[in-house]
Amino acid sequence: MKNIVVRRDFVVSPGPAADAPAHVLGAWLLIYGLCASDGVESPRLTSARAWDDFRWYQRAGVKVAQVEEVVAAGLARWDGDDLVLEGWDDGALRELKARRGAAAIATQAAARRPQRNQDGAQARNQASVRRGVKSPKRIG
């Protein structure tokens, strides 16, 4: 996902996000970015408890200690070995997936429409134009 949608009420209204120090909120936002990425798109990071500093830093740009600070602040919680992020906006993800589906349908429809040139006339496939024409022979 190119854009991250964060619920404003989660960040601004009284609660864990409003009370968290800036560096913890920054770590939460980096983890949120990982959750919002195209490969994940979920507030649940499966088996994340087993990740070491290298894996956390590689995937989200945070270290294990920062993840534990995010959990301690109430911005995430452990569910077994999975990390579940608080403040996730499921509605925005559903809306994004619906827009992607509509865009895919529109793209397919546009690809089926005949191309037009600047004069408004239908463009011809160059391969079909060349079929009946012999190519000139090279001399020399």
- Among residues 74, 85, 67, the alpha carbon closest in space to that of 17 is found at 74
pLDDT band at 119 (very low <50, low <70, confident <90, very high): low
The partner residues of 83 in beta bridges, in order of sequence, read 45, 78
Domain ranges of the chain: 8-90
**pLDDT at residue 68 in the model:** 97
CB-based contacts of 29, cutoff 8 Å, min separation 6: 4, 6
Q: Measuring CA to CA, how many Å separate 119 from each of 7, 53, 130? A: 49, 61, 22
pLDDT band at 91 (very low <50, low <70, confident <90, very high): low
pTM above the 0.75 mark?
no
Q: What is the per-residue pLDDT across 72-84, written as a single tens digit (0 to 9) for each?
A: 999 999 999 999 9
Higher-scoring residue by pLDDT: 62, 103 = 62
